[in-house]
Amino acid sequence: MAAVNEKELAALSKRVGKNLSKHRFEHCLRVSDYAVKLAKQNGVDVNQAAVAGLVHDYAKEVSKKDFLKKIDKSGLNPDLKNWGNAVWHGVVGAEFIKDDLGIDDPAILQAVRLHTTGGTHKEMTGLDKVVFMADYLEEGRDFPGVEEARQITDKSLDQGVFYQLAHTLSFLAGKEKVIYPKTFEAYNDWAMYLK
């Protein structure tokens, strides 16, 4: 996409901030910063990383009713209606980002769509991986293992992606949560690819 200057980024940031609680907006700012750091380390477009990181959770506080409406309006797969916010805020969130914020860069929209579940190694671009990892590793995250995950990711973005997929899957299963098939698909694909 065209280079984004500081002014455009500040204007976008203001609009994102209006849609989110303070703590979630601050998470988005930190994801944007961490995405820029990982983009520089991995030869990924820094502007796209900054924007995608900033907007990735734009729809996280949208109501169930509005997500369901958007699924119909955007012609998304109706099966999505059986899921919840964890899945919607990325996949359906990309439609809000397009419609409300006017962001039409397909690379940014894909990074948002994949930021929760990840995707197969062939599907994920450098930008997708950077946003996926920045969401997990931003400076406000303090789960056990975050420092190890940051070190792994500094050495290899791909190993970082696999680490997150394995740990999130295991975390969700440990809590006996329903797991979206795309999360399994991504995990299996990276396990076969890297092992």
Kindly list the residues in this chain that would bind ligand GDP in the complex (CB under 6 A).
Answer: 57, 60, 86, 90, 115-117, 135, 168, 172, 177-180, 183
Q: Which is nearer to ligand GDP, 7 or 77 (CB)?
A: 77
Smallest gap from residue 27 Cβ to Fe ion (A) = 6
- Asked whether the beta carbons of 184 and 169 are under 8 A apart, the reply is yes
Compare residues 7 and 70 and give the one whose CB is closer to ligand GDP. 70
- For the bound state, the minimum distance from the C-beta of residue 7 to ligand GDP, rounded and expressed in Å, comes to 27
- Give the N- to C-terminal CA distance of the chain in Å, as an integer: 35
Contact 30, 139 (CB under 8 A): yes
3-state secondary structure 47-60: HHHHHHHHHCCCCC
Q: Pick what 138 binds: ligand GDP, Fe ion, none; C-beta below 5 to 8 Å, kind-dependent.
A: none
Burial of 108 (0-12, 13-18, 19+ CB in 10 A): buried
Q: Residue 53 binds which entry of ligand GDP, Fe ion, none, with Cβ cut-offs from 5 to 8 Å by kind?
A: none
Supply φ then ψ for residue 24, to 5 degrees.
-75, -35
The one of ligand GDP, Fe ion, none whose footprint includes residue 178, by CB under 5 to 8 A per kind, is ligand GDP
Q: Is 27 exposed, middle or buried (0-12, 13-18, 19+ CB in 10 A)?
A: buried
Closest CA to 138 of 14, 25, 22, 28: 28
C-beta of 43 vs 144, nearer to ligand GDP: 144
Spell out, one character per residue from 41 to 70, where the chain touches Fe ion: x when CB under 5 A holds, - when not.
Answer: ----------------x-------------
Task: Name the binder of 86 from ligand GDP, Fe ion, none, CB < 5-8 A by kind.
Answer: ligand GDP
* Residue closer to ligand GDP, measured from CB, 47 or 117: 117
Residues engaged in binding Fe ion (CB under 5 A)? 57, 135
